[in-house]
Amino acid sequence: MNKENRYRIVLIEPSEIVAAGIASIIERHPDFVIEQTLANPDYLRTNSNYDIIIINPAVIDYNDRLDIRSYFTGTDAAIVALTNSSYEESVLRQYDECIGIYDNAPRIVQKLRNAMEQNAQNPKNELNELSSRERDILAAVAKGKTNKEIADEFNISIYTVISHRRNISQKLGINSIPGLTVYAIMNKLVDMSDFG
Amino acid sequence: MNNKETTYTRRMKVADLLASDGNLLSILQRLGIKLGFGEATVADICNRYGISTELFLMICNIYSFHDYRPQTANLVSSDIKSITAYLRASHRYYVETCFPAIHNGIHNLVKELDEVSRKLIDKFYDDYDSEITNHFRYEEDTVFPYIDSLLADSCDGRGKYSIHQFEENHSNISEKLNDLKNIIAKYLGEEYSSPLRYSLLADIYTIESDLSKHSLIENRLLIPLVEKLENRHE
């Protein structure tokens, strides 16, 4: 495999020793390259095209652990757990594979391949397509409704509205309300007549 | 980055400065430096035009090296006047040269569009245009005169205003420009002229990057220097 075709990996592991160890094992293999190593997921560049995210589940807040896919909405990479302790099965089941720190090199490579295969079968959320809920919320934003009004209308919390709006802007690359309005009208989510 | 070898120096020829980064052309233009400078060095030109050499080099470094972090330690309060003069010249350059080009591009593009999209994009751009013009006017009518009064050591401005208000007011004016870029590149259909859109987008990218350097000069140079001045007055 030449350099460009290698699978790109981001490694999220708080222990420098573990991170360096697994990176050196993986990088010995010509098919894989570690693009980035992070101590926690906050600095993950979600717009980058990684093939595999290897993450220690401990770095994710307990409440978010059970919904790992929605934690990484910006990517369709395979997600692999790297564990040095035991987790409930319901936590680990969401991952495409699970690497333990006692796995040997061939086993780790095998698991990365399994993860890629597993991930290929996962239903893909259309990355930059808005979901129908997002389209409804975008239409409401374009009509000039406030977060509070939208929360009441859809019977969701203001925080959920804010989170939807962040995801919409991230998907479209449009942040300002006038910009979102232009998009909404051009895509017929709202009608000019809504504006009198 | 503060590595002296990779940044510009006062003994460099202006011609070499341009040869290493053509983007600096517009800096010379807005500073009113006449072409035909021959073999003059940076220091020669700065002396001739009464520009602080230190400041001129910082501005060039800011424009050329994206990881350059200017330090205010070598600047003195008399440089503040040069900074506001530069910012004014920069505003004039945007208003007289850059925005008309974009406006012209938009105007040619929307001629092709259906009526709804034409109205939308026209209005979107007009709103952006008045927003940024107001922003420049606010700086020139409120912020810079306040700084002048601090420099003149007069009592007029003091207490009424502080540079912190400017920081708060310094809202993100590049957001809409970025939205416009995406609308033109991604969301107008393929049926509309690509050559027009490519050249319009190139103009938008250029001014977007220039405006980000402009803000950097305000945030990293002007505001810290004025804060120092305010503290001295207290």
Q: Which two tokens stand for residue A181?
A: 């309005």
pLDDT tens string B193-220: 889 999 999 999 999 989 989 988 998 8
Residue A181's domain comprises: 132-195
pLDDT tens digits for range B77-109: 888 988 999 999 999 999 999 999 999 999 898
The domain boundary residue, chosen from A121, A156, A186: A121
Q: Is A127 among the domain residues? A: no
Give the closest-approach CA distance of B175 to chain A in angstroms: 7
User: What tens digit of pLDDT does each residue of B138-167 get?
Assistant: 999 999 999 998 888 765 555 667 887 776
Q: How confident is the model at residue A120 (pLDDT cuts 50, 70, 90)?
A: confident
Q: Å from B91 to nearest chain A CA?
A: 23
Instruction: Find the residue in B nearest to A187 (Cα).
Output: B187
The C-alpha angle with vertex B212 and arms to B29 and B161, in degrees rounded to 5, equals: 95
pLDDT in tens, A148-163: 999 999 988 888 888 8
- Tally of domains within chain A: 2
Query: Does residue A156 fall inside a structural domain?
Result: yes
Residue A141 confidence (pLDDT): 94
Domain boundary among A62, A94, A121: A121
Share of chain B above pLDDT 90, in %: 53
Q: Mind listing the pLDDT tens digit for each residue in A53-94?
A: 999 988 887 766 777 776 776 677 899 999 988 888 888 888
**Residue A64 within any structural domain of the chain:** yes
What Cα–Cα distance (Å) separates residue B205 from each residue in A59, B66, B104?
A: 38, 15, 15
* B-chain residues near A185 (CB < 8 A): 116-117, 120
* B145 closest CA partner among B226, B67, B212: B226
Query: Which residues of A fall below an 8 Å CB-CB distance to B?
Result: 172-176, 178-183, 185-187, 192
Looking at the structure, do residues A139 and A163 belong to the same domain, yes or no? yes
Closest by Cβ to B182, choosing from A174, A178, A187: A174
Nearest Cβ partner for A182 among B121, B175, B178: B121
CA distances from A85 to A56, A57, A63 (A): 10, 10, 18
Query: What pLDDT does residue B159 have?
Result: 62
Give CA separation, B32 vs B47, B61, B98, in Å.
14, 19, 16
Reference B80, options B234, B218, B233; nearest CA is: B218
Question: B183–A175: do the CB atoms touch at under 8 Å?
Answer: no
Residue B138 in tokens = 């606010």
Give the residue numbers in B contacting A (CB under 8 Å), as ranges.
116-117, 120-121, 124, 127, 175-176, 178-180, 182-183, 186-188
Task: Give the one of B120, B176, B180 whose C-beta lies nearest to A185's C-beta.
Answer: B120
CB contact at 8 A, B13 and B81: no
**What is the rounded distance in angstroms from the CA atom of residue A114 to the CA atom of residue A149?**
46
pLDDT band at A166 (very low <50, low <70, confident <90, very high): confident
